[in-house]
Structure 1
Amino acid sequence: MKQWLFLSVAIVSEVVATSALKASNGFTRLWPSLLVVAGYGIAFFFLSLTLRTIPVGVAYAVWSGAGIVLITLVGWLVFGQSLDTPAIIGLTLIIAGVVVLQAFSKSAIH
């Protein structure tokens, strides 16, 4: 169970770092730039801990799928980016893919 907590921390850290990357304005703003470096450092550290027990393909699929959905929500809620119907359908398919991987794949650690 600890590996999923590690993966969750990695995902959230990556989303925070990517959000700060947008706010850093091309690394011209100090605090958001420092948050980018710290966030990605934490994300990769916890991803490396995750990979001790979860296969790399599964971990990366969950990380990237959850990260895409979360950063899209941040873009929509924080940065005012719009989501059209195809974007929402695509995000729904990504979520469905992660659920199928976790619920039915023998590759995933349960």
Structure 2
Amino acid sequence: MNSYFYLILAIICEVIATSLLPVTMGFSRIIPSIACGIGYAGAFYFLSLASVSIPTHVAYAIWCGAGIVLITLIGMFLGKMPNLDTLFGMILIVIGVALINMNSPSLH
């Protein structure tokens, strides 16, 4: 399977797990806590599969950057508007991930 597909699955799992963190109430609620743990386990599993052919530093940068941006967008959808510093930081993350991808010799 395509390594970028695995990376997308890793990002989806991580975003779901991170979105569940408040629902776990400090991991005191069993079902959401188990779902959160499964999400993070899936995220690391798929990230490890993606890292077979995508350099780890590239896969991890994409995984982290996409996770941060998507979690912020979900927060915006739920009414938590980021300030200008946060938006500027997200733009820098996207630029940084793009630069890492452009300069990774194994991806060309």
Distance, in Å, in 2 between the alignment partners of 1:32 and 1:73 is 21
1:7 aligns with 2:2: no
Does the 8 A contact of 1:101 with 1:108 survive in 2?
no
Unaligned regions of 5+ residues in structure 1, if any?
A: none
Over 3 Å counting, the alpha-carbon distance change for 1:88 and 1:19 in structure 2 is same
1:50 aligns with 2:46: no
Q: In the TM superposition, what is the alpha-carbon distance from 1:56 to its structure 2 partner?
A: 1.0
Q: In the TM superposition, what is the alpha-carbon distance from 1:72 to its structure 2 partner?
A: 1.4
Does the 8 A contact of 2:11 with 2:67 survive in 1?
yes
Spell out structure 1 runs of 4+ moving beyond 6 A. none
The equivalent of 2:97 in structure 1 is 98
Q: In the TM superposition, what is the alpha-carbon distance from 1:97 to its structure 2 partner?
A: 1.4
Deviations 1:57-96 (A, max 9, x none): 1111111111111111122223x32311111111111111
- Taking only the aligned residue pairs, the percentage that are identical comes to 44
Matches within 5 A, 1:72-87: 72-78=72-78, 80-87=79-86
Number of residue equivalences? 108
Unaligned regions of 5+ residues in structure 2, if any?
A: none
Q: Cα RMSD between the aligned structures?
A: 1.6
Matched residue type, 2:13 = S
Over 3 Å counting, the alpha-carbon distance change for 1:108 and 1:68 in structure 2 is farther
TM-score (norm 2): 0.89
Q: In the TM superposition, what is the alpha-carbon distance from 1:3 to its structure 2 partner?
A: 0.3
SS at match of 2:107: coil
TM-score (norm 1): 0.88
